[in-house]
Amino acid sequence: CDYGEDAWPNKPQDALGYLQVAISYDRPTSRVIVRIVAARGLKMRDPARRLAPNPFVKIYLLPGRKVSNKRRTRFVPCSTDPEWNQIVEWQVMPGSLPSLYLEFSVWDYDRLTENNALGQVTVSLAAITAFPH
C-alpha cells in the first residue's frame, strides 16, 4: 500500500497517533456502549517503503482478559487515518463501573505473520456519565 503525505505533519516525533472513541452507559439496559470512531496519524508499517498499516482496535473490559471481555473492530487496509465508526457493548451493573477500565490497543493486521502493536491507552470507567438513551 503506497500512502501519500502524512496527514499530521506537525505531530511530535514520538507520538503514536490519536484514537477517537465515545463511551456511554445506558442505565435502563445496564450496558457500557463504546463507539470506536477513528484514528489519526498512526505510524507507517514501513516508512522507507511508504507502507501504511492495516489497523484494527482491540478493546478489553478490565480487570480480566477473558474472551468474553474482549471486542475488536474490523481492520482497515493501508491507512494511517482509519475510520471504523463501530460500536461494541458490554453488560455491566452500575455499581461495578468505578472498578472497571477499558483498554484500547491499536494493531497492524498481518495475515502472514503476527500482528504488530501500534499503541495502547487505558481509560477508567469511574467517571462515566450515566444517562438514558
Phi-psi group of 3: left, alpha or beta (phi > 0 → left; psi -120 to 50 → alpha; rest → beta): beta
Please provide the CATH number assigned to the domain covering 18-124: 2.60.40.150
45-49, 50-54, 81-85, 124-128: least confident range: 45-49
Summarised one tens digit per residue, pLDDT across range 25-38 is 999 999 999 999 99
Domain residue extents for the chain? 18-124
Summarised one tens digit per residue, pLDDT across range 60-99 is 999 988 999 999 999 999 999 999 999 999 999 989 999 9
Backbone CA torsion sign across 14, 20, 25, 30: negative
Shortest CA distance to 62 belongs to which of 22, 92, 33?
A: 92
